[in-house]
Structure 1
């Protein structure tokens, strides 16, 4: 079982002068769900190499068993430091694709043509696609074969407007995940803020926030 995980390469939080990137738990939790299930994991990002880590996800209060495991796992750290360049990746040989969040994807992966092509290929061949927290931003541009937005008519979730408000970034982000999914015709669902909430519709798996990361990865595996 081969799973492709796609991370952001974007590290600027709008024009705040602060750093962003991927959210550590949203990478580490799914990574170990897949790894412990025996999957072969390939990591990619638009620029390749080491993806930027959102410093807010690296604070003591943001740590989980999975992030602590990652911090003592040199092989995983090496793999993360050497992500493949997304433009060199085709969908060939992969059984599923998964996008960890963090605010970074709102800027780069949401607009990335290579990512869009991959998502459309996985959807057309009915292979599982997963994204958690801010990563459903990657569904902004991909379309179905008939030209309709990929999420149109599908049950989806993603970081809520109220969660974005709670972290004070409503006016910083280029768009709000919840609003975009609704505008694209998605049947947006949400649970309580910060609690695990995952939606599965066909082969599309979306998680609402960092707490949903492991569950989203498990649901993706169930589809394989």
Structure 2
């Protein structure tokens, strides 16, 4: 008699998702500490976990990652106070520990995952130019036909990634990402709070402008509206309210 159960429950291999968050950095425009954005990790994580997917969290350098302060529901600004999904993640020791000890992006085995998601936050705008391992893995996922995704300011990765042919990966693709109108709103908000002088911007460059410059078809759904778009095996989400929409696009594409 075989010791293996001939009728195992859930015999199908669960889908596996690699989520990349950014390591801590310092903004060159404001001097603030910057990092990843909680909801862009936690909302997709929640939806994937609900589907029974296996999720691993990575960062370019590995190790402990820090979130942008305003993305934390406990922050005194109150900006993310209503984000109960992130609060639940943070308050669950097993989950919170995943952010304290991320694996290096270089360790990702493309063959072991069904999709790659690059979350945003402020740090990608300052660090992804030099994130060579992430750039390489992003192209590997895409050229292998696997779902390759970027969310909010994580779309910054598309400014740097080129296919084996030398063409920009996003050239000719329909994409979204943090919109100019949202950047303008953020700039005005920090100016009004006297947190930054009017001759400076929060971000060193703008996603919308750069996507158009490299030949992508940039689209957006309006300020702060949850939105994601899929073009082939490339999925992009507009901003921090679009984590759920990005996850839905991935789940639909995986046929689950």
**Structure 2: which 5+ runs fail to align?**
1-14, 191-199
Q: Distance in 1 between matches of 2:115 and 2:30?
A: 35
Structure 1 segments of 4 or more deviating over 6 A?
none
Q: Distance in 1 between matches of 2:61 and 2:97?
A: 16
* RMSD over aligned Cα atoms: 1.5
Kindly indicate whether the alpha-carbon contact (under 8 Å) linking 1:132 and 1:209 is maintained by their aligned counterparts in 2. yes
After TM superposition, the structure 1 stretch with the greater mean CA deviation from structure 2, 164-173 or 206-215, is: 164-173
Larger Rg: 2
1:110 to partner: Cα distance: 3.8
1:81 to partner: Cα distance: 1.1
What do residues 62-115 of structure 1 show as CA deviations (whole Å, max 9, x unaligned)?
131211221222111111211002233332311100011111111222431101
Match of 1:19 among 33, 55, 70: 33
1:15 to partner: Cα distance: 4.2
**Is 1:106 the counterpart of 2:136 in the alignment?**
no
Q: Distance in 1 between matches of 2:29 and 2:209?
A: 22
Q: Report the counterpart of residue 54 of structure 1 in structure 2.
A: 68
TM-score calculated relative to the size of structure 1 = 0.94
Q: Report the counterpart of residue 91 of structure 1 in structure 2.
A: 110
After TM superposition, the structure 1 stretch with the greater mean CA deviation from structure 2, 129-138 or 14-23, is: 14-23
Q: How many residues align?
A: 224
Kindly indicate whether the alpha-carbon contact (under 8 Å) linking 2:18 and 2:55 is maintained by their aligned counterparts in 1. yes
Kindly indicate whether the alpha-carbon contact (under 8 Å) linking 1:11 and 1:54 is maintained by their aligned counterparts in 2. no
